[in-house]
Every structure is written in structure tokens, then in C-alpha cells.
Amino acid sequence: MKKYFPFIFTLISCFTTILAQEENFFLIARNKGEKILTTGDTIRTFGFARKLSEQPGVPGPTLVVKEGDSVHIDLLNMSQGAPHTIHLHGLDVDQQNDGVPHLSFEIPHMEHGFYHFKAPHPGTYLYHCHVASTIHVQAGMYGLIIVKPSDGSNKTWDGGESFVNEHSYFLSEIDTVWHRDSVLLHPYDTSHVMNHIQIPHFDPQFFLINGLSDQQLLDSNVVFESSMGQQDFVRLANIGFCGVRVIFPQQLKARIVSSDGRPFETEESSDTIYVYPGERYGVLTKSSVEFSDQIRFEYLDLNTNQLKNTQVIPVSVQGQLGLPNFDQEEITAQLVPNPFYGNTDLHLSLREGRELTFKIYDLQGRLVEEHEERFFTVGQHEVALGKSLRESGIYTLQIISAGNVIQLEKLLRLE
Amino acid sequence: MPGWGKKLVALGLFFALCTPLFAEKLIDTLFLNQGKIEMVDGVQMPYFSFNSTSVFSKENTRLLVDVGDSLELLIVNTDSVDHAFQVKGLTASTSISANDSVWVNVELTETGAFIYYDPSAGEKYRYMGAAGMIVVRNPNQQTSDFYWNMKDHQSVYNVSLSEGQNVDWSQYYPDYFTINGRSNPDINADPAARVAGKVGDTLHIYMVNTGQSIHSIHFHGYHAKIMYSSKFPDHVGRNKDTFPIYGMEVVALELVPHQPGEYPVHDHNLVAVSAGNIYPNGMFLTLLIE
């Protein structure tokens, strides 16, 4: 038997080598990004792009690697301003690769910096600039790093549970005051160990999931779609300055199984998860029933614990055979006008007659208007909505058929 | 009496005799003093602190005891108004008249950290600094221990409260963030706060948040195991690089460094890495591992 040991050892080594790869990423740090907000306004951002012709996005590109991979990041600073770095948040890299300017190195304009690490435990991690980090993170210089199991499979970790689809929700906020040139283009003296930089009062107006908010989020078709009995994995990560209370529909039977790239010894079954700045969580979901609802993201002020905003991701769990229980083309809905003063009309077009209910919620999730269920025949209909809305602001309309939310629309009431 | 009964009595007598050798009754004095704290940028604000003498110091006295000990504390109120004293979860509130003193007995039967504070006047004195920590350790553990008393202040609130005015907590927006009364870069000069050790050491970090805000503490370079959490007991055992600590709550961590280096630890609500709106003068320090 002993004579086979070298062969087996070599085989295992070769197999491990095949699975673990060299992963090279090239990123460009830019400070002339533009971001269009849900109001249509454009703000200046900093960010990371993969090539010169690409706008730096908020968030930056998601870097996906496998456990054991040797990862190399080449960061080119083309910002004509302050230096930049990459902090590999949660990856426990050595000091040289940690991305903190006065303890590692910083990358001036038109220079490259190189970061190296071996991908550790499967999980969700972050990268962000650590130069004047309060400003550069708010400016948009952040992204996700996902470490998959060593075989790249859809498992929580090597030997962990399997899942079909994964969904990443990356949480942050935008205060447009911080995106003015007077704030973004802060003074920076590279001869100083630490630069002292004035920061404005933080009072965000936009609350983001994957860089989008409100109507942008609904228009983007970011939907949690699954099937009865199907297990999925949700990655939650918060790079903002608020806490976020994430509330899953009870039917998803959420199980919190990991955080910060480490599995829990004892998983926690809970529909509600608090994700604080810098934290990441891994959540397994599986529904035994067909339903439609939404995942709520409640942004909390860390100084007062007050609710500042709510964003939602629609949830649709389909029948066991993976067939939709509702054909979305059977109904089209449009609010005219929207934004509106006083009230608005919902223009409906139905290819099949059906019972419909309409519910309007405010951003705190309170039901503010409800229209009792009634039958709508095939064809065109108009329904007056919004008479109960007393205050200007953003509201969510749920169109409900047979107990399921089949469509969501955002309403913007003006004063 | 059968033979095993005699053995039990003997064993009981042995432990009864030995107990005083291990569990002690400690007597200490805390003076509640009023003064001013000077922040890293020179700004001064009204402050209260529990000190071991009647001379004001911005740092509340840390009480370190072994599990099983009991504390007889004489609390001396050096102020001209009434105050109170309480150990959260261990004692009731005890009033102390102006320029008077009271004795408070505290039994410490479990390891961890506990917050003592002044609960009077809607906890305004607690917010203005009057809160410290009692750390209860296992004397048999060979660890290097570090202690963080974390606070946040909105400077104008300290001034308003000291002048007897009301403040609107729903509008609270702190501009100073301290650990043991210091901000970056001064925290590293405090050997009780600045975590230092060698690769493979077992380091324990006892944190109390005696301020108002929730802080989300992020460690560079390492994950640490949660040993104790007063807010989330079911989080004990989790390995985290970032975790929240709520106001008036306690977290204790165990860190066994696997690599050498100097790495930051800071609040990842990055607004809290500032003092007087100047970055990076807030809740930021470094670990130094040889």
C-alpha cells in the first residue's frame, strides 16, 4: 500500500492545483464618475472601472473567486486627484496588502498598485478605498468580493448546503451634499502620515440596494424569484453608514448560516436580520408555498435608532414545476400621471377577467389606502387612486390577485 | 453517620476554609467628579466621571475583579446636586445626596464586563461621561486583557445639559467619538486600549458602550471570537471581523492573532472616524502584533 502513497499524494496535489487558480483583476480608480439618481438628477462619484472606456459604477465590479485561488489585483489610479487604495475588507490579508495608506501603501495618480492574497473561507467580503475613507466610500469606491467553495459549486462552503440561485443585496446610502466638488476634491498631502479632512453633516436622501433606489429598483427588475421547495442563498452586505433591518417574508423560512466569511456553529432561524456597516451575512431560504411578497430593507439612524427609509425587493415564489402562477403579460398597469397632485389614475389592461385588490403603503410600511376586491372584465379599466394620501412622498402600490402581489408600482405624490 | 457522609462533611469544611483564599471582599471608593473633557482638537465640554480620588479625570476608573469576589463600593458625590449609582444588571439604583456618600455592595458571580453608571436625571450624567466598567475575570486564564469604554458626544448637547436645558434626542448627531476618553491618534497611547501582543497570544478585549449611538466595530487583519454579548447572548462563539455594540451594552472578544503586523480597528460607521467633523480623529486605533 505504501508504494501508492506518493502517487495518491501527487494526484491530490494535482487535483487541488487544478481547482485553485490564479485570478487576475485589473481595476481603474476614477474620480469622474456620474450617477443618475431615481429623481433624474446626476451626481459626481468616485469608483472602480474595469477598463478605460467604462464608467466607474456604484458599486464597482463584483470580484468572484474560489477558495484557495491566488488573487492578484492591479489597481491603476487615473483620477488626477488624491491617491487611492484597495482595502480587502474581511479577508485578513497581511499588512502590506491591507490598503491603509499610512500602514501599507497608497497609489498616486497614473501609478499602479498590486494587491495579492489567497482566497480564504467561502463567503462575502468587501473592497473599498481606504484613503480619506469616510469621503471615498461615500463617493462610491466600493465593491463586493465573493469567495465560492474550492470547486466553484453552489454551496455555502465546502461540505456546506447546496442552493440553486444566489442573490446579493449590497446596501449603502447617498448624501448628495457629499458629492459636490468642494467635498470630493479634498486637499491631500502625500508627505503627511495622516491627512486631516473636513467632512460634512451626513444626512442621506437616497438609500441604495446594489446602487439603486425606489423606482430605479423596481424598473431594474431586481426580483427575488424562486420555486416551491427550492433552496436559495442570499448575501447581505452593508457598506453604508446606517444600520439596515432586513425583513424576509415568513414563507421564505430564512436561516442565517454565516457572517463575515465564517459559518455559524449554530445557525439562527429568523425573518429579521440587522446588518450594520461593514457586516456581511449569508442566509438560506426555502419556501414550501407559492406566494408573492417583498423583502423589506429598513435603514436605521445609528445615533437615534430611528427609521430613515424603506426599500423593497419583490419576491415571487412559483409553483412546484417552476411554472409561473401568473402570466405578467395578462395584465398591464400604468399610473397616469405619476408624479401627481391630489390623485392619479391606474390604467389597467386585462387579457382575462379577474378579481383585483389594490393596496398603497407608505415608506414606513403602513397601509394608507385599500380598495376592496372587485371583478375586472377583459379590456381596459381606469381606477382612481391616491385620495387617502395626505402627505407628499413616495408610496408603493400593490396589485393583488388571488392573495398574491402580482405587480408593484411606485407612486410619487407632490404637494 | 455512614463513611461517605463524613467524607462529604470534611469536603464541605475544606471548601468553606478555602473559599476566603479565593473569593475576596474588595473595598474601593469612587468619587463622582464634575469637570471638563478636552477633545483631540482642543474643544472642551462639560463632563462627569467616576474617579478613584476627588480630583477630576476624564477616564472613569476601571474596576478589575476575579469571579466570585464581592465589591464594597463607597460612592462619594462631590457635586452640589443629587446623583445616583447603579451597576447595570447587578444592583438597583441608589441615590446619593449632594456632597454625601453611600455604600453599595456588588456580588460578581460570573465572568464578563458590567457597566456602572449614574442613572439619575434621565441618564443625562451618564451621557455626559459618568459611566465606567467592572471587569470580572477568571483568575486562572492566561490572557492579555484590554479595556475599551466607548462614548459619543454632541458637544452642544453637553453644554446645554450642563446648563439645565433639555435636548432633543431624536435629533442627536454626535461630533466626538472616544475610547477611554481619547480619540485617534491618542487612543494608541493608552496601553489599556491599544491591543498589543504576539502571534499566538490569547488577547481578550472587554468593550462597553456607555454612549448613545450604535457602533459597528471593524477589525483589519483578523477575525475575533465573541466571548460575551449582553445584547445578543446567542452571538457568543461567532467569529467576526465586524460587529455592532449598542448603547449601554457589553461585548467581550477573544483574539488569537495568526499574523504579525499593525492593523486598524475602527467604527465602520465612518462618520464616527472623526472629531469635530475632522477625519480621521475619531474612533480609530491600531493593533500591534509582533
Predicted local distance difference test score (pLDDT) of residue B7 = 54
pLDDT < 50 regions, chain B: 1-2, 4, 8, 11-20
Predicted local distance difference test score (pLDDT) of residue A182 = 96
Picking from A152, A184, A217, the residue at the C-terminal end of a domain is A152
Q: What string of H, E and C letters represents the secondary structure of chain B?
A: CCHHHHHHHHHHHHHHHHHHHHCCEEEEEEEEEEEEEECCCCCEEEEEEEECCCCCCCCCCCEEEECCCEEEEEEEECCCCCEEEEECCCCCCEEECCCCEEEEEEECCCCEEEEEECCHHHHHHHHCCCEEEEEEECCCCCCEEEEEEEEEECHHHHHHHHCCCCCCHHHCCCCEEEECCECCCHHHHCCCCCCEECCCCCEEEEEEECCCCCEEEEECCCCEEEEEECCCHHHCCCEECEEEECCCEEEEEEECCCCCEEEEEEECCHHHCCECCEECCCCEEEEEEC
Residues 198-257 of A with CB under 8 A from B: 198-202, 241, 243
Whether chain B has a CB inside 8 Å of the CB on A261: the answer is: yes
Q: Average pLDDT over chain A, rounded to whole?
A: 90
The answer to whether the complex's ipTM is over 0.90 is yes
Domain that holds residue A399: 327-415
Whether chain A has a CB inside 8 Å of the CB on B15: the answer is: no
Please say if the pLDDT value at position A170 is more than 90: yes
Whether chain A has a CB inside 8 Å of the CB on B243: the answer is: yes
CA distance B258 to chain A (A): 10
pLDDT digits (tens, 9 = 90+) for A172-195: 999 999 999 999 999 888 777 778
Please say if the pLDDT value at position A248 is more than 60: yes
∠ CA B281-B189-B148 to the nearest 5 degrees? 75
Determine how β-strand B261-267 pairs with β-strand B284-289: antiparallel
Contact B220 A133 (CB under 8 A): no
Residues of B in contact with A135 (CB under 8 A): 279
Predicted local distance difference test score (pLDDT) of residue B9 = 52
Whether chain B has a CB inside 8 Å of the CB on A182: the answer is: no
Please say if the pLDDT value at position A283 is more than 70: yes
Residues of B in contact with A262 (CB under 8 A): 223, 238-240
Evaluate whether residue A83 is within a structural domain. Answer: yes
CB nearest to B216's CB, from A261, A262, A276 = A276
Please say if the pLDDT value at position A201 is more than 50: yes
Evaluate whether residue A337 is within a structural domain. Answer: yes
Please state the domain count of chain A: 2
Please say if the pLDDT value at position A328 is more than 90: no
CATH number for the domain spanning A24: value is 2.60.40.420
Evaluate whether residue A290 is within a structural domain. Answer: no
Residues of B in contact with A260 (CB under 8 A): 223, 239-242
CATH number for the domain spanning A387: value is 2.60.40.1930
Mean pLDDT along residues A28-46: 96
State the CB neighbour count (10 A cutoff) for residue A193.
8
Whether chain A has a CB inside 8 Å of the CB on B129: the answer is: no
Count Cα atoms within 13 angstroms, Cβ side, for B170: 3
Task: Report the residue of chain A nearest B266, measured CA to CA.
Answer: A278
Predicted local distance difference test score (pLDDT) of residue B20 = 41
Predicted local distance difference test score (pLDDT) of residue B10 = 53
Picking from A152, A183, A216, the residue at the C-terminal end of a domain is A152
Please say if the pLDDT value at position A321 is more than 50: no
Mean pLDDT along residues A56-62: 96
Domains and CATH numbers, chain B: 23-289 (2.60.40.420)
Task: Report the residue of chain B nearest A90, measured CA to CA.
Answer: B241
Evaluate whether residue A412 is within a structural domain. Answer: yes
**Cα–Cα distance measured from residue B178 to residue B150, given in angstroms and rounded to the nearest whole number:** 6
Q: Give the pLDDT band of residue A260 (cuts 50, 70, 90).
A: very high
Residues 180-199 of B with CB under 8 A from A: 185
Q: Give the pLDDT band of residue A393 (cuts 50, 70, 90).
A: confident
pLDDT digits (tens, 9 = 90+) for B31-81: 999 999 999 999 999 999 999 999 999 999 999 999 999 999 999 999 999
Whether chain A has a CB inside 8 Å of the CB on B111: the answer is: no
Cβ neighbourhood burial of A177 (10 Å; 0-12, 13-18, 19+):
middle
Evaluate whether residue A253 is within a structural domain. Answer: no
| Better-predicted residue by pLDDT, B65 or A342 | B65
Picking from A152, A173, A194, the residue at the C-terminal end of a domain is A152
Predicted local distance difference test score (pLDDT) of residue A3 = 53
Please say if the pLDDT value at position A326 is more than 60: no
Residues of A in contact with B240 (CB under 8 A): 259-260, 262, 279
Evaluate whether residue A174 is within a structural domain. Answer: no
Predicted local distance difference test score (pLDDT) of residue A406 = 76
pLDDT digits (tens, 9 = 90+) for B105-140: 999 999 999 999 999 999 999 999 999 999 999 999
**Cα–Cα distance measured from residue B115 to residue B130, given in angstroms and rounded to the nearest whole number:** 10
Contact partners, residue A205, CB within 8 Å, separation at least 6: A174, A175, A176
